[in-house]
Amino acid sequence: MNIRSLTRGDGVVIGSAALLLIASFLPFYSYPSGYSVSGGVSHSSQNLWHSATFPILPSVTLAAVVAAAALLFARSGQLAGRQVLGLSLDQWVVALSLFVGWTAVWSTLFNNQDGVDKKVGAWLTLIFGIVIAVAAALSSRLPALKAPLMGAPQQPQPYGVGAQQPYGMNPPQAGYGYPGGAQSVDPAYGGAPAPQPPYGGGPVAAAPHAAQPTAAAPAPSADFTAFWFAVPVPRPLFAEDGSGGQIAELAPGTWYLAVDQRGQALIAQTQDGRRGVLQDSSGIQRG
Protein backbone atom coordinates (compact mmCIF):
# COMPACT_ATOMS: atom_id res chain seq x y z
CA MET A 1 0.00 0.00 0.00
CA ASN A 2 1.23 3.49 -0.91
CA ILE A 3 1.12 5.69 2.19
CA ARG A 4 0.68 8.71 -0.08
CA SER A 5 -2.85 7.48 -0.77
CA LEU A 6 -3.83 8.36 2.82
CA THR A 7 -5.26 11.75 3.73
CA ARG A 8 -4.90 13.58 7.01
CA GLY A 9 -8.44 12.55 7.91
CA ASP A 10 -7.50 8.92 7.27
CA GLY A 11 -4.52 9.32 9.57
CA VAL A 12 -6.72 10.70 12.36
CA VAL A 13 -9.17 7.80 12.01
CA ILE A 14 -6.42 5.16 12.04
CA GLY A 15 -4.57 6.86 14.90
CA SER A 16 -7.74 7.18 16.99
CA ALA A 17 -8.51 3.48 16.50
CA ALA A 18 -4.99 2.58 17.66
CA LEU A 19 -5.30 4.80 20.75
CA LEU A 20 -8.71 3.32 21.55
CA LEU A 21 -7.13 -0.12 21.47
CA ILE A 22 -4.42 1.02 23.88
CA ALA A 23 -6.99 2.67 26.17
CA SER A 24 -8.92 -0.60 26.39
CA PHE A 25 -6.07 -2.10 28.46
CA LEU A 26 -6.11 0.77 30.98
CA PRO A 27 -8.40 0.83 34.04
CA PHE A 28 -11.92 1.77 32.98
CA TYR A 29 -13.90 1.36 36.22
CA SER A 30 -12.87 1.45 39.86
CA TYR A 31 -15.13 0.13 42.63
CA PRO A 32 -14.80 -0.67 46.34
CA SER A 33 -13.86 -4.30 46.91
CA GLY A 34 -13.50 -4.51 50.68
CA TYR A 35 -11.48 -3.15 53.56
CA SER A 36 -7.73 -2.97 53.74
CA VAL A 37 -5.63 -3.98 56.76
CA SER A 38 -5.27 -0.32 57.67
CA GLY A 39 -9.02 0.01 58.05
CA GLY A 40 -9.64 1.92 54.79
CA VAL A 41 -11.71 0.82 51.84
CA SER A 42 -9.77 -0.98 49.12
CA HIS A 43 -10.63 -0.55 45.44
CA SER A 44 -10.34 -2.78 42.44
CA SER A 45 -10.30 -1.71 38.80
CA GLN A 46 -11.35 -3.32 35.54
CA ASN A 47 -10.46 -2.60 31.94
CA LEU A 48 -12.60 -3.17 28.86
CA TRP A 49 -11.33 -6.73 28.46
CA HIS A 50 -13.17 -7.74 31.66
CA SER A 51 -16.55 -9.41 31.17
CA ALA A 52 -18.20 -6.91 33.52
CA THR A 53 -17.67 -4.08 31.01
CA PHE A 54 -19.33 -5.93 28.12
CA PRO A 55 -20.47 -4.78 25.53
CA ILE A 56 -18.28 -1.65 25.49
CA LEU A 57 -15.26 -3.50 24.08
CA PRO A 58 -16.87 -4.77 20.84
CA SER A 59 -19.07 -1.67 20.45
CA VAL A 60 -16.23 0.86 20.78
CA THR A 61 -12.74 -0.59 20.60
CA LEU A 62 -13.23 -3.46 18.16
CA ALA A 63 -15.65 -1.46 16.00
CA ALA A 64 -12.98 1.27 15.69
CA VAL A 65 -10.36 -1.30 14.69
CA VAL A 66 -12.72 -2.70 12.03
CA ALA A 67 -13.33 0.85 10.72
CA ALA A 68 -9.57 1.47 10.46
CA ALA A 69 -9.06 -1.85 8.65
CA ALA A 70 -11.87 -1.04 6.20
CA LEU A 71 -10.24 2.33 5.55
CA LEU A 72 -6.89 0.72 4.78
CA PHE A 73 -8.55 -1.73 2.37
CA ALA A 74 -10.38 1.14 0.68
CA ARG A 75 -7.11 3.04 0.14
CA SER A 76 -5.11 -0.01 -0.97
CA GLY A 77 -6.65 0.16 -4.45
CA GLN A 78 -7.37 -3.56 -4.62
CA LEU A 79 -10.88 -3.16 -3.20
CA ALA A 80 -11.54 0.36 -4.54
CA GLY A 81 -15.16 0.73 -5.60
CA ARG A 82 -16.25 -2.55 -3.96
CA GLN A 83 -19.49 -2.57 -1.97
CA VAL A 84 -20.47 -4.59 1.09
CA LEU A 85 -24.22 -4.94 1.70
CA GLY A 86 -24.88 -2.04 -0.63
CA LEU A 87 -22.38 0.37 0.98
CA SER A 88 -18.89 1.28 -0.14
CA LEU A 89 -15.97 0.79 2.24
CA ASP A 90 -15.75 4.56 2.81
CA GLN A 91 -19.42 4.61 3.82
CA TRP A 92 -18.84 1.72 6.21
CA VAL A 93 -15.93 3.61 7.78
CA VAL A 94 -18.16 6.63 8.45
CA ALA A 95 -21.03 4.52 9.79
CA LEU A 96 -18.81 2.47 12.12
CA SER A 97 -16.96 5.57 13.36
CA LEU A 98 -20.19 7.38 14.18
CA PHE A 99 -21.37 4.28 16.03
CA VAL A 100 -18.09 4.20 17.96
CA GLY A 101 -18.44 7.86 18.94
CA TRP A 102 -22.05 7.50 20.07
CA THR A 103 -21.31 4.36 22.12
CA ALA A 104 -18.24 5.96 23.72
CA VAL A 105 -20.28 8.99 24.81
CA TRP A 106 -23.17 6.86 26.12
CA SER A 107 -21.02 4.33 27.99
CA THR A 108 -18.85 7.01 29.60
CA LEU A 109 -21.17 9.88 30.43
CA PHE A 110 -24.54 8.20 30.90
CA ASN A 111 -23.62 4.81 32.33
CA ASN A 112 -23.29 5.73 36.00
CA GLN A 113 -23.41 3.32 38.91
CA ASP A 114 -23.28 4.02 42.64
CA GLY A 115 -19.83 3.53 44.11
CA VAL A 116 -18.20 3.07 40.69
CA ASP A 117 -15.65 5.63 39.54
CA LYS A 118 -14.46 6.12 35.98
CA LYS A 119 -10.73 5.89 35.47
CA VAL A 120 -8.27 7.05 32.81
CA GLY A 121 -9.32 4.35 30.32
CA ALA A 122 -12.89 5.64 30.33
CA TRP A 123 -11.93 9.25 29.63
CA LEU A 124 -9.48 8.30 26.89
CA THR A 125 -12.19 6.13 25.32
CA LEU A 126 -14.55 9.10 25.37
CA ILE A 127 -12.01 11.49 23.82
CA PHE A 128 -10.80 9.25 21.00
CA GLY A 129 -14.30 7.91 20.35
CA ILE A 130 -15.45 11.46 19.62
CA VAL A 131 -12.33 12.20 17.57
CA ILE A 132 -12.73 9.17 15.28
CA ALA A 133 -16.42 9.98 14.71
CA VAL A 134 -15.75 13.62 13.80
CA ALA A 135 -12.73 12.82 11.63
CA ALA A 136 -14.52 10.12 9.65
CA ALA A 137 -17.60 12.29 9.07
CA LEU A 138 -15.66 15.40 7.98
CA SER A 139 -12.59 13.90 6.28
CA SER A 140 -14.19 14.23 2.83
CA ARG A 141 -15.53 17.73 3.49
CA LEU A 142 -12.87 19.77 5.26
CA PRO A 143 -9.90 20.78 3.06
CA ALA A 144 -7.54 20.40 6.03
CA LEU A 145 -8.54 16.74 6.40
CA LYS A 146 -8.71 16.04 2.64
CA ALA A 147 -5.05 17.02 2.19
CA PRO A 148 -2.59 14.14 1.62
CA LEU A 149 -1.05 12.76 4.80
CA MET A 150 2.48 12.87 3.34
CA GLY A 151 1.93 15.99 1.24
CA ALA A 152 0.91 16.30 -2.39
CA PRO A 153 3.37 15.19 -5.08
CA GLN A 154 5.71 18.05 -5.91
CA GLN A 155 5.77 19.32 -9.44
CA PRO A 156 9.24 18.83 -10.96
CA GLN A 157 10.95 22.15 -11.67
CA PRO A 158 12.52 22.49 -15.12
CA TYR A 159 16.08 23.62 -15.52
CA GLY A 160 15.79 26.87 -17.42
CA VAL A 161 18.46 28.96 -19.08
CA GLY A 162 20.73 30.55 -16.51
CA ALA A 163 19.48 28.39 -13.65
CA GLN A 164 22.06 27.77 -10.93
CA GLN A 165 23.18 24.15 -10.83
CA PRO A 166 25.37 22.43 -8.24
CA TYR A 167 29.01 22.23 -9.24
CA GLY A 168 29.74 19.23 -11.41
CA MET A 169 26.09 18.35 -12.06
CA ASN A 170 24.27 18.51 -15.34
CA PRO A 171 20.52 18.98 -15.79
CA PRO A 172 18.72 15.63 -16.07
CA GLN A 173 17.32 14.60 -19.41
CA ALA A 174 13.56 15.08 -19.43
CA GLY A 175 11.50 11.92 -19.66
CA TYR A 176 7.87 10.98 -19.82
CA GLY A 177 5.96 12.38 -16.90
CA TYR A 178 8.28 15.39 -16.51
CA PRO A 179 6.23 18.52 -17.26
CA GLY A 180 8.08 21.58 -18.42
CA GLY A 181 11.22 19.71 -19.51
CA ALA A 182 13.01 19.92 -22.83
CA GLN A 183 10.55 17.73 -24.70
CA SER A 184 9.27 17.86 -28.22
CA VAL A 185 5.93 19.50 -28.88
CA ASP A 186 3.25 17.42 -30.53
CA PRO A 187 0.36 19.39 -32.11
CA ALA A 188 -1.91 16.36 -31.72
CA TYR A 189 -1.88 16.99 -27.96
CA GLY A 190 -2.77 20.67 -28.26
CA GLY A 191 0.84 21.81 -27.83
CA ALA A 192 1.55 19.77 -24.66
CA PRO A 193 4.91 17.98 -24.33
CA ALA A 194 4.87 14.66 -26.14
CA PRO A 195 5.76 11.47 -24.21
CA GLN A 196 9.45 10.56 -24.23
CA PRO A 197 11.27 7.39 -23.08
CA PRO A 198 11.83 7.26 -19.31
CA TYR A 199 15.26 7.84 -17.74
CA GLY A 200 17.73 5.30 -18.94
CA GLY A 201 15.03 3.20 -20.57
CA GLY A 202 14.25 2.17 -24.09
CA PRO A 203 11.44 3.44 -26.22
CA VAL A 204 7.95 3.18 -24.84
CA ALA A 205 4.90 1.98 -26.68
CA ALA A 206 3.68 4.30 -29.38
CA ALA A 207 1.13 6.83 -28.26
CA PRO A 208 -2.41 6.05 -29.33
CA HIS A 209 -2.64 9.18 -31.47
CA ALA A 210 0.27 7.91 -33.57
CA ALA A 211 -1.25 4.47 -34.03
CA GLN A 212 -3.98 3.51 -36.45
CA PRO A 213 -7.32 5.08 -35.46
CA THR A 214 -9.70 2.71 -33.71
CA ALA A 215 -13.21 3.01 -32.42
CA ALA A 216 -11.91 2.78 -28.82
CA ALA A 217 -9.45 5.65 -29.21
CA PRO A 218 -11.14 8.63 -30.90
CA ALA A 219 -9.22 11.74 -31.79
CA PRO A 220 -8.94 14.41 -29.07
CA SER A 221 -11.61 17.12 -29.00
CA ALA A 222 -10.69 20.17 -31.03
CA ASP A 223 -11.25 22.55 -28.11
CA PHE A 224 -9.34 20.47 -25.53
CA THR A 225 -5.77 21.34 -24.49
CA ALA A 226 -3.81 18.45 -23.05
CA PHE A 227 -2.12 18.90 -19.70
CA TRP A 228 -0.06 17.00 -17.14
CA PHE A 229 -1.65 15.97 -13.88
CA ALA A 230 -1.07 13.88 -10.74
CA VAL A 231 -3.66 12.15 -8.55
CA PRO A 232 -3.81 12.59 -4.75
CA VAL A 233 -4.76 8.93 -4.14
CA PRO A 234 -4.71 5.79 -6.31
CA ARG A 235 -7.38 6.05 -8.98
CA PRO A 236 -8.57 3.30 -11.38
CA LEU A 237 -8.30 3.84 -15.13
CA PHE A 238 -11.11 2.21 -17.10
CA ALA A 239 -11.30 1.09 -20.72
CA GLU A 240 -12.46 3.65 -23.28
CA ASP A 241 -14.89 1.24 -24.95
CA GLY A 242 -17.38 1.53 -22.08
CA SER A 243 -16.98 -2.09 -20.97
CA GLY A 244 -16.21 -0.96 -17.40
CA GLY A 245 -13.01 -3.01 -17.19
CA GLN A 246 -10.06 -1.53 -15.30
CA ILE A 247 -6.91 -1.36 -17.44
CA ALA A 248 -4.53 0.40 -15.02
CA GLU A 249 -4.27 2.28 -11.76
CA LEU A 250 -2.88 5.80 -11.52
CA ALA A 251 -0.56 6.23 -8.54
CA PRO A 252 0.28 9.40 -6.57
CA GLY A 253 3.69 10.90 -7.24
CA THR A 254 3.58 10.16 -10.99
CA TRP A 255 2.65 12.61 -13.73
CA TYR A 256 0.16 11.50 -16.40
CA LEU A 257 -1.04 13.16 -19.57
CA ALA A 258 -4.70 14.11 -20.00
CA VAL A 259 -5.38 13.92 -23.74
CA ASP A 260 -9.17 14.41 -23.88
CA GLN A 261 -12.24 14.99 -21.74
CA ARG A 262 -15.67 13.35 -21.58
CA GLY A 263 -17.96 15.36 -19.36
CA GLN A 264 -16.37 15.28 -15.91
CA ALA A 265 -14.11 12.34 -16.83
CA LEU A 266 -10.63 12.62 -18.34
CA ILE A 267 -8.97 10.48 -20.98
CA ALA A 268 -5.54 9.81 -19.47
CA GLN A 269 -2.41 8.21 -20.91
CA THR A 270 -0.03 6.10 -18.84
CA GLN A 271 3.74 5.82 -19.17
CA ASP A 272 3.47 2.78 -21.44
CA GLY A 273 1.10 4.49 -23.87
CA ARG A 274 -2.18 2.98 -22.63
CA ARG A 275 -5.22 5.24 -22.66
CA GLY A 276 -8.28 5.00 -20.47
CA VAL A 277 -11.05 6.89 -18.73
CA LEU A 278 -10.34 8.51 -15.35
CA GLN A 279 -13.85 8.80 -13.96
CA ASP A 280 -12.85 10.54 -10.72
CA SER A 281 -10.79 13.65 -11.48
CA SER A 282 -11.48 15.43 -8.19
CA GLY A 283 -8.47 16.86 -6.36
CA ILE A 284 -5.96 16.29 -9.14
CA GLN A 285 -2.87 18.48 -9.37
CA ARG A 286 -2.30 20.03 -12.77
CA GLY A 287 1.23 20.34 -14.08
Q: Which residues of 218-238 are buried (b: 16+ CB within 10 A; e: fewer)?
A: eebeeebebbbbbbbbbbbbb
Whether 161 is covered by a domain: the verdict is: no
Does residue 48 belong to any structural domain of this protein? yes
Question: Any idea what the CATH number is for the domain that residue 266 is in?
Answer: 2.30.30
- What share of the chain has pLDDT > 90, as a percent? 24
- pLDDT score, position 105: 94
End-to-end Cα spacing for the chain: 25
Domain identity same for 22 and 114: yes
Number of domains present in the structure of the chain: 2
Q: Is residue 181 part of a domain?
A: no
For the segment 69-94, what is each residue's pLDDT rounded down to a tens digit?
988 888 776 665 677 788 888 889 99
Verify that 18 and 136 share a domain, yes or no: yes
> Which pLDDT score is estimated for 287?
74
pLDDT at 151 over 90: no
What's residue 63's pLDDT? 94
| pLDDT for the residue 78 | 60
**Residue 267 within a domain:** yes
- C-alpha to C-alpha distance for 251 and 18, rounded to whole angstroms: 27
- Residue 279 pLDDT exceeds 80: yes
* Residue-range definition of the domain harbouring residue 277: 187-195+206-286
Q: What is the pLDDT of residue 183?
A: 43
**DSSP symbol at 189:** G
Rounded to two decimals, what is the model's pTM?
A: 0.51
Same domain for 191 and 139, yes or no, is no
The answer to which of 150-154, 235-239, 242-246, 254-258 has the lowest mean pLDDT is 150-154
**Selected residue with higher pLDDT from 40 and 90:** 90
Judge whether 20 lies within some domain: yes
Cα 147 off chain centre by: 9
Q: In what order do the strands lie in the sheet with 29-35?
A: 41-46, 29-35, 117-118
- For the segment 95-146, what is each residue's pLDDT rounded down to a tens digit? 999 999 999 999 888 877 777 888 899 999 999 999 999 999 998 888 888 8
Mean pLDDT along residues 35-53:
72
The verdict on 40 and 131 lying in the same domain is: yes
Find the CATH number of the domain harbouring 136: 1.20.140
Q: What is the pLDDT of residue 66?
A: 94
